[in-house]
Amino acid sequence: MPDSRRSALRVWVPVVLSALIQLATTFTVLVTHGVRSAPPWLQHHAPQIEQPAAVVVAALVLALAGPVLLIWIRRRPGPVLIAIAASAVMGEALLIVVVGAVAFYISVIFGVVIAVLHGARLWAWIATGVLWLTPIALYALTLQAGSLLLLVPWTIVSILVLVLPEVARNRRAWRAQLLHEAQARQAQEAQAERVRIARELHDVLAHSLSQINVQASVGLHLFDAQPEKAADALASIKDTSKQALGEVRQVLGMLRGDAPLAPERGLADLDALIDDLEAHGVEGVLRMSGSADVGRVPAAVQQAVFRITQESLTNVTRHAAARTVSVEVFGDDDRLTVRISDDGVGAASAPSPDGRGLLGMRERAELLGGTFAAGPRADGGFQVEASLPLRGAS
């Protein structure tokens, strides 16, 4: 159902329903108890009516006033509810004093429910209390004590009218809070995913472009003197760029929601990093022991170890002027540690002046609940170490 039709139904159903009920019950009270000098249109239906015509007209007008006011209650719920209650109180007073009975003013019930749902709680309590006390006072003044029994069902209705909208309003607020929390979680997850993808792209591009830059420099330097080595450098550039393009496509595939085009990098790919390192003229040593078993290490931990190692080795080739680099991967049943040490000089683990390399590696470790440390070694060089938990990683 369109929203406009649903909104129209919410407005007009209470109006029409309350008008029909209030006019019908008012007419029944007037007919049952008798009205003198009724107008001709009413005498045809109830010739025994003996009350003045003004009483009939006033009672019917008051019965219709509440339903009409319901049309505007959503704009000003408090004041309009008081006006509806006032018309009901005057109708009660007129009927109880003149004919000794009262009609059913359901427009007040609709008004109280709508007012509570729109936050006008105080107005709703005042209107309900006044409408509840009015028949007590009038029946007492007119010495109709037996009619006070009618207040029992009206009291039950009054309590339900105040309680049920509060329950509905609290439920609606609870659902809105749940929706807000779910949207906040989705936003956080989306932000975390953007950060993860940005980190993946940084690692892939920084490592690959660094290698391409170094090999291109070597090729240019040896182009005339040693063309065969220049050709090797160009071949290395080709392989590196091809591999980088594949990894970039994989990351972009994750952005599009496609299946990964290649498996995620892990411990089994560390040998390729060492080979790339040696292509830059740096001797690399890889040592794996303990829980550095591919089958026992979660994929998230393997990928983090690979990316931290990749970033560290990229920084070695760009900044450290190192001759040897050692990569150690070891651990036990609870944690896996990777340690990258070099004998170079300079800021080996800072790929840029603002330290984004160190920041990215630290974030990778801490996201998995691990620890990260980096700094100069006592005997020279630089060392990066990350320790990652094996349980609970995802």
Q: 324-331 and 283-288: which strand pairing?
A: parallel
pLDDT at 47 over 80: no
74 compared with 358, residue with greater pLDDT: 74
pLDDT at 36 over 60: no
DSSP assignment of 28-75 equals HHHHHH--TT--HHHHTT-TT--S-HHHHHHHHHHHHHHHHHGGGTTT
The residue out of 81, 111, 143 marking a domain boundary is 143
- What's the CATH number where 309 sits? 3.30.565.10
Per-residue confidence (pLDDT) for residue 191, from 0 to 100: 74
Classify 47 in phi/psi space as left (phi over 0), alpha (psi -120 to 50) or beta. Answer: alpha
- What distance in Å separates the CA atoms of residue 373 and residue 382, rounded to the nearest whole number? 11
- What distance in Å separates the CA atoms of residue 211 and residue 318, rounded to the nearest whole number? 9
pLDDT at 110 over 70: yes
pLDDT at 55 over 50: yes
Residue 285 lies inside a defined structural domain of this protein: yes
pLDDT at 224 over 80: no
Structure tokens belonging to residue 145: 């004590």
pLDDT at 259 over 50: no
Per-residue confidence (pLDDT) for residue 65, from 0 to 100: 92
Averaged pLDDT for residues 277-281: 74
Q: What is the DSSP letter of 147?
A: G
Lowest mean pLDDT among 27-36, 211-220, 349-358: 349-358
The residue out of 80, 109, 143 marking a domain boundary is 143
Classify 208 in phi/psi space as left (phi over 0), alpha (psi -120 to 50) or beta. Answer: alpha
Per-residue confidence (pLDDT) for residue 252, from 0 to 100: 64
Residue 292 lies inside a defined structural domain of this protein: yes
Q: What is the DSSP letter of 333?
A: S
How many domains does the chain fold into? 2
The residue out of 88, 120, 143 marking a domain boundary is 143
In the structure, what pLDDT confidence band is assigned to residue 146 with cuts at 50, 70 and 90? Answer: low
Range of the domain at 378: 264-394
- What distance in Å separates the CA atoms of residue 308 and residue 285, rounded to the nearest whole number? 16
Residue 130 lies inside a defined structural domain of this protein: yes
Residue 107 lies inside a defined structural domain of this protein: yes
Per-residue confidence (pLDDT) for residue 144, from 0 to 100: 61
pLDDT, one tens digit per residue, over 313-337 is 888 877 777 888 999 998 887 889 9
SS3 label, residue 229? helix
pLDDT at 42 over 60: no
From the list 22, 44, 45, the residue with the least C-alpha distance to 95 is: 22
Lowest mean pLDDT among 79-83, 139-143, 317-321, 381-385: 139-143
- Taking the CA atoms of residue 276, residue 280, residue 283 and residue 288 in that order, the dihedral angle to the nearest 10 degrees is -20
Averaged pLDDT for residues 112-139: 80
Any bridge partners for residue 339, and if so which? 328, 385
Per-residue confidence (pLDDT) for residue 211, from 0 to 100: 67
Per-residue confidence (pLDDT) for residue 350, from 0 to 100: 41
Residue 353 lies inside a defined structural domain of this protein: yes
* Overall pTM > 0.95: no
176 compared with 351, residue with greater pLDDT: 176
Cβ–Cβ < 8 Å for 256, 263: no
Q: In what order do the strands lie in the sheet with 382-389?
A: 283-288, 324-331, 335-342, 382-389, 371-376
In the predicted model, what is the mean pLDDT of the chain?
Answer: 76
pLDDT, one tens digit per residue, over 93-103 is 888 777 777 78
SS3 label, residue 354? coil
Residue 352 lies inside a defined structural domain of this protein: yes
From the list 124, 128, 11, the residue with the least C-alpha distance to 78 is: 124
Structure tokens belonging to residue 9: 């139904």
Residue 159 lies inside a defined structural domain of this protein: no
From the list 135, 150, 114, the residue with the least C-alpha distance to 14 is: 114
Averaged pLDDT for residues 22-37: 76
Per-residue confidence (pLDDT) for residue 256, from 0 to 100: 58
Residue 321 lies inside a defined structural domain of this protein: yes
pLDDT at 341 over 50: yes
